[in-house]
């Protein structure tokens, strides 16, 4: 996630997909929201969690991990397209995707967001609510500054994990676990 500024013209997800040279942005209720590029520390952490998830899901043949800039429809009419830092979609849900060249129209089971210094918790909470409304089963929010991982479930259950804890895939990726320390190394 990164600082954002919303442009005014309302468009659809399909029109947003066809736009060229938009840079880093999301579509929020039909409006294009520009996001500033993330810093090195953010990129390193996003890559680390993405690699750990990829190695695990490939070994177990569970589904696909997608990296940053993979768009997900979280709302329709007006359309909202979010681009988390990482996501997991099972083979079962992946089979339901109507067009693999466009934004995901089927919710992934897991979404990972890595915070940037300019992110506000209001923005973060809004995204989490959107993800759950779309059908996401688990959200991890990684805070590089505090070196914590906040785990959110659609039931409202939350936990805050620190360096002494272990992050697990809960019921989404039950065989996945990694120490919080490893994420921030």
Q: Confirm whether 136 is domain-assigned.
A: yes
Q: Report CA 120 to chain centroid distance, whole Å.
A: 16
Q: Confirm whether 68 is domain-assigned.
A: yes
pLDDT in tens, 104-159: 999 999 999 999 988 888 999 999 999 999 999 999 999 999 999 999 999 999 99
Q: Which of 35, 103, 15, 22 is nearest to 66 (CA)?
A: 103
Q: Confirm whether 11 is domain-assigned.
A: no
Q: Confirm whether 177 is domain-assigned.
A: yes
Q: Confirm whether 175 is domain-assigned.
A: yes
Residue 4 has pLDDT above 60, yes or no: no
| pLDDT for position 1 | 47
Based on the structure, what is the number of domains in the chain?
1
pTM: 0.89
| pLDDT for position 3 | 40
Q: Confirm whether 9 is domain-assigned.
A: no
pLDDT in tens, 63-103: 999 988 899 999 999 999 999 999 999 999 999 998 888 89
Are 19 and 84 in contact by the 8 Å Cβ rule? The answer is no
Residue 10 has pLDDT above 90, yes or no: no
Q: Confirm whether 10 is domain-assigned.
A: no
| pLDDT for position 8 | 57
Residue 16 has pLDDT above 90, yes or no: no
Q: Which domain holds residue 105?
A: 38-73+82-184
Residue 23 has pLDDT above 80, yes or no: no
């Amino acid at each position: 996630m990164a600082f954002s500024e919303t442009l005014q013209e309302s468009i659809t997800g399909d029109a947003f997909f066809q736009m060229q040279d938009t840079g880093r942005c999301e579509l929020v209720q039909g409006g294009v929201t520009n996001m500033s590029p993330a810093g090195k520390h953010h990129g390193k952490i996003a890559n680390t969690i993405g690699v750990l998830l990829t190695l695990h899901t490939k070994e177990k043949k569970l589904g696909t991990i997608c990296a940053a800039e993979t768009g997900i429809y979280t709302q329709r009419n007006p359309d909202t397209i979010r681009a988390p830092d990482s996501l997991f979609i099972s083979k079962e849900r992946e089979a339901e995707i109507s067009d693999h060249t466009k934004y995901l129209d089927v919710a992934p089971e897991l979404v990972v967001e890595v915070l940037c210094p300019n992110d506000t918790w209001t923005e973060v909470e809004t995204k989490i609510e959107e993800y759950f409304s779309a059908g996401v089963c688990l959200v991890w929010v990684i805070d590089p500054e505090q070196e914590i991982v906040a785990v959110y479930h659609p039931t409202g259950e939350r936990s805050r994990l620190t360096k002494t804890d272990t992050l697990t895939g809960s019921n989404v990726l039950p065989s996945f676990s990694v120490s919080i320390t490893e994420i921030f190394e």
